[in-house]
Amino acid sequence: MPDFRERHVIVTGGTGALGAAVVAELLAGGATCHIPYLVEAEGQNFAHRAHQRVKLIANTNLSAQMVVKRLYDGVPKLWASIHLAGGFAASPIAETDEAELMGMIRNNLITGFLCCAAAVGAFRRSGGGGRIVNIAARPALEPRLGAGSVAYTAAKAGVAALTEALAAEVLNENILVNAIAPSILDTEANRTAMPKADHALWPKLGDVAAVICQLAAPANRVTSGAIVPVYGRA
């Protein structure tokens, strides 16, 4: 279990299925978790909302630079920033309009970029380094798997490139930047959407959360610039 005692961690997308698993792992390690959200119902229904080390921040639009800046300015001595916020849409390219493309870029790449930038600023103010973990996707590493969801694939490929470039930029500051690239996660929503799939092959939320927290932990002193596949047996 990674040790996050007395560490402050921001988890975007923390009220989602994977986010809740990540927050559970962080809390078990002693972290204080700061969780921005936009949809009120997600905050109200969040499983860990009553925990004393959970700080929920409502009405947070992560694609607005000033909103993101206020979020990061409000966290004392940030240690890690984990970026799970995003979105998925599948449609053939001929049926994907500009608005849908920009939505994929905004929800996945722009939110990740703004949070990375704000996190680097927060780490520099505290002077102790830090950790960033982004979420790419399997098609970001294997683009041919993105047939039928080209806009999403392009946006997630951008997240992977962002991760590698930023890792090189800040490595000498003890800021380590990595990403995971999951295949289809074993969530209730995905099981409902794909009832005939072999769900046993999909990566489990707890296992993926453990990988994320290992990358974000103080004990990680050597891994940076990695896009870690978390495919399960798919």
For 37-80, the pLDDT digits (tens) are 999 999 999 999 999 999 999 999 999 999 999 999 999 999 99
Higher-confidence position of 1 and 141: 141
> Mean per-residue pLDDT for 18-41?
97
C-alpha distances in Å from residue 91, one per residue of 41, 103, 146, 147, 174: 28, 13, 10, 9, 40
Q: What is the pLDDT of residue 210?
A: 98
What kind of fold does domain 8-230 have according to CATH? Rossmann fold (3.40.50)
pLDDT band per the 50, 70, 90 thresholds, residue 233: confident
Domain segments of the chain: what residues? 8-230
Q: Residue written as tokens 């959970």?
A: 54
The answer to which of 113-117, 140-144, 185-189, 223-227 has the lowest mean pLDDT is: 185-189
| Mean pLDDT value of segment 28-41 | 96
Q: What is the pLDDT of residue 1?
A: 79
Q: Give the model's pLDDT for residue 234.
A: 82
**C-alpha distances in angstroms, 173 versus 121, 131, 228?**
12, 11, 22
Do residues 208 and 190 touch, judged by C-beta distance below 8 A? no
Can you tell me the mean pLDDT for 152-181? 98
CA distance 47 to 51: 9
* Of 20, 218, 40, 215, nearest in space to 136 by CA: 215
Q: What is the pLDDT of residue 174?
A: 97
Beta bridge partners of 178: 133
Q: Percent of the chain at pLDDT above 90?
A: 97
